[in-house]
Structures are given as structure tokens and as C-alpha cells.
């Protein structure tokens, strides 16, 4: 048969498949063997695969030549396979190793077909050669994995198996075979219902298998199983779904371990623990069980009932740490001497700390349990609370000590009257109380004769009541004695009780104490009480005065909170009035005088309303102060012209400035307002004229004055007093003078906020204000401001004021971001800043502002309200400066109790313009902030 060749015009289906296979690298060569003429042709690919000269493909080659390229171990098999194929004809397949052109052997598979003629003789034998090296490697790995899996499954303890979705066993190990009692070929492919003799057991197993396969989740459960020989066991089974390559559950795999012995051991352990628990309950001792391996200690409930520790388990170290420090080292050494030695019992007494911190005296006993080698395993013991016994012993010792002291002390003694034998037993101390020497014998006659005549009858009656069988009274009496030898009168207290035999008193035993000193002390105490009652009355009156002052302070604080809130709302509303009016006035000019007059009237009214809110804030101590080191003398002197102008011609002004006046720390502008308010009030109190004095002085408020004035610390103060010769005020008016809106003036003549503003400023400045007044004699209001101990010229209030300057303007290169949740205020601020020449962006809240800051790096100034929902203005500024450290910030608010003012004073470096503000105020503050030099870093 001619060798396989392709023409350019014809392709048989077989030749096409061969060509494609060779192109894909599956076939590495082809051959065609004309058996009848014994002409074998190979292509170049086959020659290359066998490591032969490619030139052999141009002509017939001998079969021996080809066989010679085969691995020597495979040549005999190849020849036998070829001979067999030629004899029988048909399909031929054989595998062998051949050396390639690189000299290395690789596995090849020859596939061909032997064609026979009608007489059964081979005439043609074409075929292909395939490289099966990779397939052989995979098959080897598969065989190795299967062998390993079979070995692993067989080596697994217990039962290991796999089942399909119908519950049929796919594989099982030796444990499975023992459980079922049949060889694998008898149970593979069958279900538990077909294999297990117990139907209930089979149903339970299959139900659990179905549940695991349905849920797709692994489970661990205990199963009761029966062996073929009748044994029953408990198996701990772990079952998991068996999945294919796509993750679909196609069956179940499981393992089971026989835990019958473990269950039995657990039951025995529970029974032992229950017996131990019953024993521990049956005693009041704290039973403990100490495991030496890890120091773990188990306690019974007595640890809680006796010592208060709500614990059932501790460490040995915990027990040791609860032993009194003075006992700890001794107990630690004693118990370890037993444990580390060969002993078995230990006993010790020590103090054990209870849960409340007190210590209990305990007796502790323990027994060491050792293994066969003598090593300690556990120690079990009981702790007995000795506290009550120790307390009883201590009480007995204390009584004995007291008894001894009673006999030894000079002012106490025993007495014993033997009524049967008419004997009196007195120790020396008792004799001394009756003025009798220690060696002198005594009798009942000495007792009666030694009583003070005024106390004899009463004392004798008490003794008779004690020996009377019908009354058997306690002999308890105090009386005076007159010394038999020294004549000294002493007070004694005697107590005793009769001892009866039947209806007869045979003895009376008791003690006697010298109480002379006590009686003297009682007399002195009575005298002291009489003096104390008078002092108490004075203290109560003072306390009532202080309580009244405290109630007044609390009332002022509450009203301050209310007025501060009102002022806040007013400022927000006025900010939307004054600003737009200011802009309107600027736009109108003087073209319409009447309209301009109307606008001026509205601006004037709004500004007076703003002044009213400023006074409300001053009273409520919520105005932002800018305190500086201040010379009050210079400030008062500088106000002289203003005060004279405010008083008019009927009132004469005098100023008395104290020499060497201390400096104080206050807001100069606000202090001027305070003095002006006081002066105006004083003027109104002198309708017919009079004299007004403004005085300054240094003063010291001592602890007595500070104690009488609630909230006023003692110390050094600068005092500014305003005194008038007017009508004066009654006490009930003085009590309300600082209340907001309280006024004695006619309707329309005052707001009642002048003194309220004074009160708020002084309290906000850590000072004190006091009114002294008498009807018809005039009034003095004294303002006390704390002394400033240290100051520098830079802290002092400036004296020079700048001249009026034109409205400062900006330029379009300076960008201002306006943030305010009040739409009207925000709109005014935007228009005003635009009119002033700035480029303006606006935001209604912190979130929008942060986004604009990210988008516009050219923003120069953040102008933000302080009180806003969500992030407030201070928080917004802090976050903005995290991203833009050079960003300048100007705050505005109508209420200062917030994040930029603390204790009434602006935080350092904070710029603030209060609401409401005019265009001029806004222009000046914005310009000042923008022109401020950046701080050095």
C-alpha cells in the first residue's frame, strides 16, 4: 500500500482528520506499510519523532530500522504486537517508548488498521503515531491519588463512607465493613434501609443524610447504631455534602467515631461531680479542688456564702493573693513544703480577704492526691471560717482585760456583799472612793456611813429593791461619798445584781466607778449649752441670710438663661433688618429726603432694639468680652467730659481717684458702659439736682465678707463706686434692682436693663457688685473687679483712637465664602460684601461650604455663623483649616455661649462680629482680618 500522501485537489475524510490532528500537535507522524510487497513508508514527522534521519521519508524503510529506534525494553513487545495484528487484521493499538531527536525517550501510542485480502492475508497496514506522554503522566497521578485515597480511607479510625443523592453507598472503609457486617461488594450501591437490620436506625440515618444534602451544610451529630453481633454503640458522626466540579451537591461524605466509652466516662464523671456537689452542699466549709497542672481551683457555694466572692472557679494565685500580706509567705511556704515533699496532709490558719475587703480568720486543711510515681496531681481541702470563734475568744479576752482594768484603774472597783455571812469585799480601789486606806478592813456599816446624807435614803432604797425576791431590781444608782479619812466628797456610779437561791438573796455583786470628773464636766457642759444656744440662734439667722442670697443668685442665673435666649433670637431677626436697611440707605443717597428719613428712622429703631439685646446679653453674661490690663483711674478720668454732658447742669460731678490704684483685667468699653449706666441711674434718682461722686480705691474682701456673699471669693479688688444724694431705695427695691426689666421709672422712661447689664458684666468679669441705699439719703453702688497682679504694656488698653477713615473696600481678587443657615442674613451678607468689592460665594451649611472650599482654592476668607445645625461654625473652621492652614476666618453670631467664647472671653486668635451688624462694621472687620499678618510657624 502506498504511503499516505495528500494531493492539492482531493482530500478524503480520513486524510482531512489526520491533517487537522497533525496541525493540532496530537499526531506526531504517520506510516503506510504495503505488507504484500513489504514496503514501509514513513513521513518526516514520524522520522523526527523516532530520532531517525528525515531523508528516510523519501523512500521505503525496513521495519527493523524503525524497531531499532524503540526503547530496548519495549522492542520485543512491539514486534509481538505487530505480528499479532498482521495475523488477525483489524484495529491495532500499542504503546512504547522511543528516543526523539533530542535523545530523550517519550511515550508514544501507535494506532493503525491491518487490511486483509479475501484469503485472510495482510495486504496493507497504515497508521498514525500519537505522543501520549502527558496522558501517561496524568494517569499515573490519578492511580497514585486513588491508591493514596484508598490507603487513607482504610487507615481512618471509625467509619468513613461516601453516598450518592439516593443514599446508596459509593465507598466505605474497614470500619464501614465491620459496622454493616458484609464485604464492600455486598454493600456498595445499596442504601442503609437495605443494609441495616434496625429499620428505625436506618430511617434516622437516612433522614440525617437527606437533611445535610438538602441544606448543603455540614453537621455533627450523635447516632445510636447496632452491630450485627448485637452490640449497641454511640457514634459521633460528621456529615458534609459531596459536590461535583460545578458545586452541585451530588451526594454525601461522612465519618463516624465510636464514642461509647467516652459517653460512659462522661456519665461517670457527672455522677462523681454530683456526689461531690452533694457533699459540698452538706457542709458549711468552703470546699476547694486544686489542679496542680495549671493551678485551676474549683470552689463550692460556701466561697460566696461565707466570704462574699461570687466565684466558682479561680486560680491558685488568686487564693494566695487573698491571704493577708502578713500571713501569705508563711502559708505559701507551708503548703508547698507538703506538696513538694512526700506528705499528704496540710493544715494552716491565716486571714482571708472577703469580697468587702475585710478579713476572716480561717482554718484550712487539704489532702494531696498523687500519681503512682508520687507526683502531686490534685489537692482537695476545706476552709473553715474561724471568725465567730475568734471574735468570741477576743470578746472573752476583752472582758477579762476590762475586768483587770476595772480592778487596776483608780476610778473603778468591785464590790461583793455576802448577805448570809454579813461580809463586804472591797478591793483597794473601791475603798479609795470612800476615803479609806487599802489596808483598813470594811463592813456594811462603813458603806452606809460613807454615803452623803442627801443621797443615803435613795441609795438604801435601791439596794433594798435589788435584794427583794419579789422585785429583783437592777442596782443602778449614782451617789456622793464623804471620805472617812480625808473628808473629800466624791461622785460614784454603782451597778450590781442580786444572786438568789430560791426566794432568798444570798449575795449582791457589782462594780463602782468614780464619776466625779464626769459630773464636773456635765456642769460645765450645761453652762456651755446655755452659751451655745445663743450662738446657734445667731448662726441660724446668718444661714437664713446666706440662703436668701443663694436663692437670689439662682433666680438671677435662671432669668439670665431666659434673657440670653431671647437676645439670641432678637439678634438673628435684627441682623436681617439692620443690614438691608443700611444697604438701602446707601443705594438711595439723598435723592428722596422723605424716604431717606423713613429709612433712618427704621435704622435708628433697629439699632435701639440691638442695644436692648446687647443689654440682655450683658445681663445673662453671654456677651463676648475682650479684657485687657486696665487702669481704672485713667478710664474714669477720660470719661469726665462724657459724664458731665450726661448729667446736665443740675447735678454736680466729683471724682475721687485713689492713689496707687491697682490694675485690673476687664473689657474697657464694657466698663465704660457700666459706669455710664450707673451715672445715668444716679442722675434720674436726683430729679431736683444734687451731687454725684465717682470714686476709685483699692480694697480687700476678707473671709467674713466673702462668707456672707454667696459666690464671692476673698481677695484683693479694685473698687469703683458711684454715689448720689438722691431719693434712695427701700430694701424691697434693692432686692430686685438687678432683675431684668425691673424699673421704678414711669412707663417709657427706661427699659429696666441698666443695672441688669451692670450685674451681668461684673459677674462675667469674676467681680462683685453691691448696693447701699437709704430712703432720702441717696445710693451708693460699688463695683469690685479682681486685682491684676502682673501685666505688660502690650496687655494695656490703648488710649489713642484712630480718626475716621473711609469705608475699607476689597477687590475682586479677594474671595469670601459666606456660610449662614438664616437665608435673610446670608443674602444681606452676600450683597454687602459684593458692594464692598469682594467676590462672594455662599453656602447654607457646613457640608456645602466644605465642598466649595475643595472646588475653589482661591477662597481667601471664611465668613461663617457659629450656631448652625450639624457642624457648627467652629467645627467647620477647624476642618477647613486642616485642608487650608492659611485660610482666614471671621465668625458671626447673635449668641455667644458657644464654641468660640469660653468664660465670656473670646478664644485666642478668634475674630468675631456680633449680630446684628452694619455694612460699615462688616467692612472694617473683614478688612482687619484679611490684613492681619499670618502667625509665624
Give mean pLDDT, residues 630-635: 90
Predicted local confidence at residue 919, as pLDDT: 83
Res. 398: pLDDT tops 70: yes
In the structure, what pLDDT confidence band is assigned to residue 271 with cuts at 50, 70 and 90?
Answer: low
Q: Which of 910, 914, 913 is nearest to 902 (CA)?
A: 910
Q: State phi, psi for 489 to the nearest 5 degrees.
A: -85, 125
Residue-wise pLDDT for 324-336, tens only, equals 999 999 999 999 9
CA atoms within 13 A on the CB side of 281: 6
Distance CA 502, CA 834 (A): 118
Q: Which of 554-563, 741-750, 755-764 has the highest mean pLDDT?
A: 755-764
Predicted local confidence at residue 693, as pLDDT: 92
- Strands 504-514, 651-656: pairing kind: unpaired
Q: Do 299 and 313 touch, CB atoms closer than 8 A?
A: yes
Q: Higher-confidence residue: 641 or 342? A: 342
Res. 714: pLDDT tops 80: yes
In the structure, what pLDDT confidence band is assigned to residue 18 with cuts at 50, 70 and 90?
Answer: low
Res. 589: pLDDT tops 50: yes
In the structure, what pLDDT confidence band is assigned to residue 932 with cuts at 50, 70 and 90?
Answer: confident
Res. 760: pLDDT tops 50: yes
Q: Do 576 and 822 touch, CB atoms closer than 8 A?
A: yes
Res. 395: pLDDT tops 90: no
**3-state SS assignment for residue 813:** coil
Distance CA 900, CA 911 (A): 9
Predicted local confidence at residue 557, as pLDDT: 55
Predicted local confidence at residue 531, as pLDDT: 79
Q: Which of 879, 859, 560, 592 is nearest to 739 (CA)?
A: 560
Q: Do 301 and 281 touch, CB atoms closer than 8 A?
A: yes
Residue-wise pLDDT for 349-377, tens only, equals 999 999 999 999 999 999 999 998 899 99
Predicted local confidence at residue 236, as pLDDT: 83
Res. 202: pLDDT tops 50: yes
Query: What's the chain's Rg over C-alpha atoms?
Result: 58
Q: Do 51 and 129 touch, CB atoms closer than 8 A?
A: no
Predicted local confidence at residue 570, as pLDDT: 62
Res. 5: pLDDT tops 50: no
Predicted local confidence at residue 559, as pLDDT: 53
Q: Which of 23-27, 57-61, 577-581 has the highest mean pLDDT?
A: 57-61
Residue-wise pLDDT for 435-470, tens only, equals 999 899 999 899 999 999 999 999 999 999 999 999
**3-state SS assignment for residue 666:** strand
Tell me the pLDDT of the chain averaged across its residues: 80
Res. 130: pLDDT tops 60: yes
Give mean pLDDT, residues 157-170: 85
In the structure, what pLDDT confidence band is assigned to residue 889 with cuts at 50, 70 and 90?
Answer: very high
Predicted local confidence at residue 3, as pLDDT: 39
Can you name the residues that pair with 586 across neighbouring β-strands?
none
Res. 1: pLDDT tops 80: no
Distance CA 715, CA 717 (A): 7
Residue-wise pLDDT for 512-523, tens only, equals 888 888 888 887
Distance CA 128, CA 26 (A): 10
Q: Which of 495, 515, 479, 511 is nearest to 415 (CA)?
A: 511
- 13-22, 411-420, 824-833, 842-851, range with the lowest pLDDT: 13-22
Distance CA 313, CA 886 (A): 62
Predicted local confidence at residue 566, as pLDDT: 58
In the structure, what pLDDT confidence band is assigned to residue 193 with cuts at 50, 70 and 90?
Answer: confident
Predicted local confidence at residue 792, as pLDDT: 52
- 282-286, 682-686, 715-719, range with the lowest pLDDT: 282-286
- 78-82, 596-600, 764-768, range with the lowest pLDDT: 596-600
In the structure, what pLDDT confidence band is assigned to residue 895 with cuts at 50, 70 and 90?
Answer: low
Amino acid at each position: 500500500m502506498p504511503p499516505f500522501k495528500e494531493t492539492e485537489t482531493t482530500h478524503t475524510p480520513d486524510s482531512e482528520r489526520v491533517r487537522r490532528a497533525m496541525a493540532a500537535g496530537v499526531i506526531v507522524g504517520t506510516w503506510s506499510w504495503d505488507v504484500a510487497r513489504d514496503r514501509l513508508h514513513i513521513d518526516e514527522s514520524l522520522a523526527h519523532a523516532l530520532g531517525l534521519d528525515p531523508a528516510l521519508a523519501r523512500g521505503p524503510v525496513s521495519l527493523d530500522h524503525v524497531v531499532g529506534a524503540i526503547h530496548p525494553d519495549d522492542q520485543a513487545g512491539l514486534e509481538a504486537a505487530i505480528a499479532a495484528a498482521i495475523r488477525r487484521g483489524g484495529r491495532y493499538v500499542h504503546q512504547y517508548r522511543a528516543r526523539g531527536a533530542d535523545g530523550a525517550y517519550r511515550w508514544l501510542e501507535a494506532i493503525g488498521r491491518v487490511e486483509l485480502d479475501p484469503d485472510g492475508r495482510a495486504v496493507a497496514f497504515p497508521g498514525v503515531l500519537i505522543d501520549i506522554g502527558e496522558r501517561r503522566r496524568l494517569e499515573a497521578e490519578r492511580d497514585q491519588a486513588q491508591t493514596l485515597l484508598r490507603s487513607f480511607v482504610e487507615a481512618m479510625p471509625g467509619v468513613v463512607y461516601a453516598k450518592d443523592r439516593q443514599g446508596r453507598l459509593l465507598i466505605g472503609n474497614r470500619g464501614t465493613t465491620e459496622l454493616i457486617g458484609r464485604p464492600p461488594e455486598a454493600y456498595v450501591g445499596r442504601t442503609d434501609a437495605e443494609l441495616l437490620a434496625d429499620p428505625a436506625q436506618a430511617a434516622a440515618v437516612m433522614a440525617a443524610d437527606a437533611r445535610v444534602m438538602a441544606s448543603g451544610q455540614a453537621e455533627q451529630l450523635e447516632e445510636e447504631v447496632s452491630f450485627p453481633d448485637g452490640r449497641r454503640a454511640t457514634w459521633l458522626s460528621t456529615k458534609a455534602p459531596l459536590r461535583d466540579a460545578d458545586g452541585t451537591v451530588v451526594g454525601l461524605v461522612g465519618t463516624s467515631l465510636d464514642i461509647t466509652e467516652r459517653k460512659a466516662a462522661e456519665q461517670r464523671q457527672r455522677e462523681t461531680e454530683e456526689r461531690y456537689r452533694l457533699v459540698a452542699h452538706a457542709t458549711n466549709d468552703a470546699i476547694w479542688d486544686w489542679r496542680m497542672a495549671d493551678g485551676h481551683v474549683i470552689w463550692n457555694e460556701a466561697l460566696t456564702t461565707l466570704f462574699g466572692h461570687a466565684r466558682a472557679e479561680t486560680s491558685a494565685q488568686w487564693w494566695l493573693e487573698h491571704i493577708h500580706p502578713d500571713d501569705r509567705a508563711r502559708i505559701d511556704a507551708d503548703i508547698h513544703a507538703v506538696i513538694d515533699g512526700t506528705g499528704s496532709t496540710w493544715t494552716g490558719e491565716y486571714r482571708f480577704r472577703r469580697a468587702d475587703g475585710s478579713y476572716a480568720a480561717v482554718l484550712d486543711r487539704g489532702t494531696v492526691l498523687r500519681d503512682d510515681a508520687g507526683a502531686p496531681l490534685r489537692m482537695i481541702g476545706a476552709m473553715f471560717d474561724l471568725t465567730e470563734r475568734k471574735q468570741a475568744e477576743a470578746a472573752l479576752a476583752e472582758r477579762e482585760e476590762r475586768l483587770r482594768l476595772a480592778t487596776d484603774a483608780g476610778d473603778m472597783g468591785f464590790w461583793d456583799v455576802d448577805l448570809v455571812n454579813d461580809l463586804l469585799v472591797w478591793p483597794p480601789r473601791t475603798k479609795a472612793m470612800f476615803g479609806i486606806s487599802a489596808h483598813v478592813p470594811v463592813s456594811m456599816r462603813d458603806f452606809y456611813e460613807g454615803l452623803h446624807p442627801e443621797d443615803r435614803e435613795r441609795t438604801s432604797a435601791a439596794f433594798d429593791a435589788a435584794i427583794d425576791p419579789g422585785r429583783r431590781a437592777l442596782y443602778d444608782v449614782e451617789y456622793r461619798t464623804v471620805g472617812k479619812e480625808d473628808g473629800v466628797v466624791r461622785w460614784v456610779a454603782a451597778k450590781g445584781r442580786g444572786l438568789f437561791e430560791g426566794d432568798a438573796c444570798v449575795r449582791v455583786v457589782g462594780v463602782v466607778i468614780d464619776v466625779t470628773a464626769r459630773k464636773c464636766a456635765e456642769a460645765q457642759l450645761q453652762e456651755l449649752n446655755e452659751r451655745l444656744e445663743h450662738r446657734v440662734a445667731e448662726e441660724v439667722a446668718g444661714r437664713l441670710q446666706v440662703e436668701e442670697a443663694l436663692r437670689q443668685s439662682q433666680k438671677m442665673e435662671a432669668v439670665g438663661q431666659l434673657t440670653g435666649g431671647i437676645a439670641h433670637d432678637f439678634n438673628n431677626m435684627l441682623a436681617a433688618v439692620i443690614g438691608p436697611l443700611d444697604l438701602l440707605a446707601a443705594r438711595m443717597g439723598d435723592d428722596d429726603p422723605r424716604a431717606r428719613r423713613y429709612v433712618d428712622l427704621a435704622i435708628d429703631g433697629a439699632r435701639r432694639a440691638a442695644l436692648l439685646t446687647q443689654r440682655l446679653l450683658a445681663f445673662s453674661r453671654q456677651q463676648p468680652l475682650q479684657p485687657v490690663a486696665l487702669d481704672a483711674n485713667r478710664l474714669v478720668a477720660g470719661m469726665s467730659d462724657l459724664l458731665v454732658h450726661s448729667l446736665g447742669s443740675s447735678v454736680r460731678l466729683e471724682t475721687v481717684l485713689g492713689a496707687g490704684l491697682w490694675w485690673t483685667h476687664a473689657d474697657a468699653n464694657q466698663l465704660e458702659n457700666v459706669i455710664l449706666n450707673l451715672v445715668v441711674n444716679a442722675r434720674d434718682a436726683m430729679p431736683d439736682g444734687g451731687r454725684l461722686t465717682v470714686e476709685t480705691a483699692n480694697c480687700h474682701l476678707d473671709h467674713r465678707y466673702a462668707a456672707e456673699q454667696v459666690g464671692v471669693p476673698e481677695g484683693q479688688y479694685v473698687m469703683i463706686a458711684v454715689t448720689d444724694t438722691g431719693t434712695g431705695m427701700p430694701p424691697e427695691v434693692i432686692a430686685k434692682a438687678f432683675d431684668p426689666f425691673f424699673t421704678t421709672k414711669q412707663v417709657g422712661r427706661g427699659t429696666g436693663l441698666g443695672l441688669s447689664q451692670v450685674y451681668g458684666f461684673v459677674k462675667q468679669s469674676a467681680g462683685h457688685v453691691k448696693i447701699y441705699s437709704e430712703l432720702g439719703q441717696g445710693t451708693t453702688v460699688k463695683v469690685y473687679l479682681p486685682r491684676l497682679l502682673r501685666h505688660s504694656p502690650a496687655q494695656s488698653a490703648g488710649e489713642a483712637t484712630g480718626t475716621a477713615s473711609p469705608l475699607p473696600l476689597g477687590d475682586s481678587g479677594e474671595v469670601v465664602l459666606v456660610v449662614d443657615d438664616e437665608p435673610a442674613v446670608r443674602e444681606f451678607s452676600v450683597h454687602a460684601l459684593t458692594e464692598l468689592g469682594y467676590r462672594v460665594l455662599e453656602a447654607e451649611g457646613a457640608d456645602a461650604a466644605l465642598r466649595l472650599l475643595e472646588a475653589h482654592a482661591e477662597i481667601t476668607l471664611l465668613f461663617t455663623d457659629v450656631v448652625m445645625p450639624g457642624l457648627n461654625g467652629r467645627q467647620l473652621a477647624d476642618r477647613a483649616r486642616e485642608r487650608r492652614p492659611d485660610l482666614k476666618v471671621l465668625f458671626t453670631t447673635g449668641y455667644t455661649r458657644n464654641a468660640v467664647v469660653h468664660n465670656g472671653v473670646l478664644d485666642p486668635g478668634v475674630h468675631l462680629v456680633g449680630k446684628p451688624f452694619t455694612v460699615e462694621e462688616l467692612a472694617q472687620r473683614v478688612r482687619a482680618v484679611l490684613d492681619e499678618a499670618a502667625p509665624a510657624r
